[in-house]
Amino acid sequence: MLAVSAALLGCGPEGTGALALSWRFADGRGCLDAGAGAMLLNVDGSDLGRRRCDDALAPITITLDPVDRGGRLTLVANTLQGNEGYRGEVVLDALLSPTTVVLFATGTR
């Protein structure tokens, strides 16, 4: 019965799925104004790779697959010099609802 319920919800045996993701800067800046180049993505410390800042600046989205359901997603916006400029975190829900992460300045630009 549990396997049938899991199949109906679309979650795999590892509890992963696809996530529609976007991000935005809390101060309303765009990528160029924020000086952000690369976005570093990870869930619970597992590296999900790098993306260009413009790849998913809201309202644009990207799809990450697979992503752990209920995991903590962390995004870091690196400056063009390679320093951390902005950071945002969110705990993903079990359904992996479309998510926009708000990035806050870290003061290390």
Domain boundaries, the chain: 16-105
Among 25, 71, 30, 31, CA closest to 47:
71
Bond prior to 98 in cis (omega within 30° of 0): no
Tell whether domain 16-105 is in CATH 2.60.40: yes
pLDDT bracket for residue 107 (50, 70, 90): confident
pLDDT tens digits along 19-32: 999 999 999 999 99
The answer to whether 101 touches 67, Cβ cutoff 8 Å, is no
Enter the tokens of residue 44: 């619970």
pLDDT tops 70 at residue 103: yes
Which tokens in the block code for residue 106? 């870290």
* pLDDT at position 13 over 70: no
pLDDT, tens digit, for every residue of 46-99?
999 999 999 999 999 999 999 999 999 999 999 989 999 999 999 999 999 999
